[in-house]
Structure formats: C-alpha cells, structure tokens
Structure 1
Amino acid sequence: MDVPPFMRELDLETMHAPEFLEYTNIGVANTEDGEHIGSNFLRAFKVLHFQKLVVNIGYSRTVEEYNINYKRLEERGETYARWCDAIGLRHWVLAFDEGHRWGHMTTNLVECINSVLKGARNLSVLALVRATYYRLNELFTWKSAETHERSVLDIRTPHLRNSG
C-alpha cells in the first residue's frame, strides 16, 4: 500500500514531518468558545444581563442571526460592541468561523465517539477504518434484507393497508 506511515498508525512525530506537510491542516483558526467569551465580557463590564446576549452572538449560525443580536448589543452601548469587535468575527462567531468550530450537538457527538475509541488507542488507523467498513456493510446488508421483507409483505397483503 502506498500511503504515508502516519495513515497506517497514529504516529504524531511522523505526521508533522516536513515531507508530509500537505497532509496537515495548516488553516486551523484560533477559535474561542461562546461561553468563554461571555465570561470574559462579564469580567470586563460586570453587566450580567448582557452576558447572555454576547454568548448568543457567539453561537449565531447565520449572518442574519448575528446581525440581529449584534444590533441589540450596539443599542445597549457602543463600548460593548467595540469590545466584541476587537476579538474578530472569525474567532468567536459560528457564522464566520469557516467550519473550524462546532456547536454543542457536534461537540457532544465527538466526545461520545472519543470515549468509544479510547479503548482502541493502540490499533492502527487502517484497522479502525476496516472494522468500521465491515460493521457498516453488515448493518446495511441486514437493513436491506429487512426492508425487502417488509416490501414483499406489503405487496402480498394490500387488504391490511386499506383496513383500519
């Protein structure tokens, strides 16, 4: 197989070697969590009822949602808005982070998968991918057979569908 060694086994030293730079993610942004920004805002201004608004701005998933929340903050004071502007949109607002940060649901899913994979630390990446492939293939085969049985049963018993 003609793949770099770090793709067969998780070897961080090899992965960051100069000859494999094209495989590394150079464009990762330094992002902040909305809750963290909210805590910093509260520490800076001591205005508890604006903290939730700042957190909501950080978790805005669309530009429209961001604009609505930001305008509400601006109406309460230019100083608060300028403090948020100093952080930079890419670093804390979901709508502008280019996919480098995720919401609660994705984070929870990743944490769940991480706990499952902790027991497989010494397995090679290829072994994990292979095992996942075969298990999914088995699941899809089973589900396909189950669906086929249901469709055949539906064809044979049309009177059951119409009664009721």
Structure 2
Amino acid sequence: MKDLYITCIKLQGNSLYYLASEDQRNDYVRDIMETFGYNVKDQTRRGLSPTGKAAGELDIFIHDAGFPVAIIAALNLKSLDKTYLDKHIDKIYDYDTAGNSFNVILSYVTVSNFEDFCNKYIDYIKGHIYPYLLTGIEENYFVDDNTYSDIKVMLTKHNRNGKKTLLVHICVRIGKSN
C-alpha cells in the first residue's frame, strides 16, 4: 500500500497525466510499481467479465510467483458517477476468484471541490450493496502516517466466506482546480 500511495503522489506531480486517458494513467502506475519490484500485469484476462460470458480484463493485477496479491480497478471520475463506480466495484469481485486479502479501487479524480467529492464518495460506499458482507469502514486510512489533502484513502472491510478482506478506495486528485 505504501508503494502504491507513493506511485499516486508521483502521478499527481506529473503534468503529462493531467489530461491522460485511464489506460495511460494505468500504464504509469504499472511501470512505477514494477520499478518497486512488484510483478504487475495489466489488461490481463481473469475471472468473469460483467456480462459473465467471457473472462474479464483487469486494469492492473499484482502477483507474487503466480499467486494473486491484489487487483486494482481504476477509473477516471469528473464527478461521482455512481453507475460507473458501481460497475468497477462489482467487477473487482468478479475478477477476484481466489479471495485476495485486499483489492483496490483507484479513482483518478478531476473536480474543482475535492473535499466535497470525497464526502459524497464516502457516503456512497457506505450504502453500496457489496457481494460480501460489509463489516466496517475506515474513512481516513493513512499510509505510513503520511497524509495529503489531495489523496484520500478509505477502506471497506468485508467478511468473505469467513475471512476478513479489504477493499481499498483511493481517490487521487489529478490536475489543478478549475
């Protein structure tokens, strides 16, 4: 988590990615995570697609010697698009066939009022109907005691077949305010 957090800070600081596509931002995250020594794949096929007719395409997949570690589902948000967010939250569970200890929703956020966006995001994920029982939420998860105003990390805690699992929600403000 610390390395992913640092990667998000580096992405934020690189103006080349202010107007970039989700795929371009994901490529950057993949490349930086690889430099940290992680085994990372992108657009790999795993689990089920949202239609259930074929394998899904993961944005970013982290593994260790073939064992799945985490799936990162990334999305660009210019507002709290609930339908788009729902799609990403739900599909991460379709892709995670093993039951990872944690997975990540990584939102690249371009809004003028980041604080307001994050408050709405937190309220929304508290009420989302997850495929596994929501057992808790941590609204302000701090990575290594470093906190910044334009990155928000939240956790939803779940009971997945008797095991505690986490869905980490990272909202990264990209670009400057309008």
Query: TM tier, shorter chain?
Result: under 0.3
Structure label with greater radius of gyration: 1
Q: Name the structure with the higher helix share.
A: 1
TM-score with structure 2 setting the length: 0.20
Higher normalized contact order (CA 8 Å, seq sep 6+, divided by chain length): 1
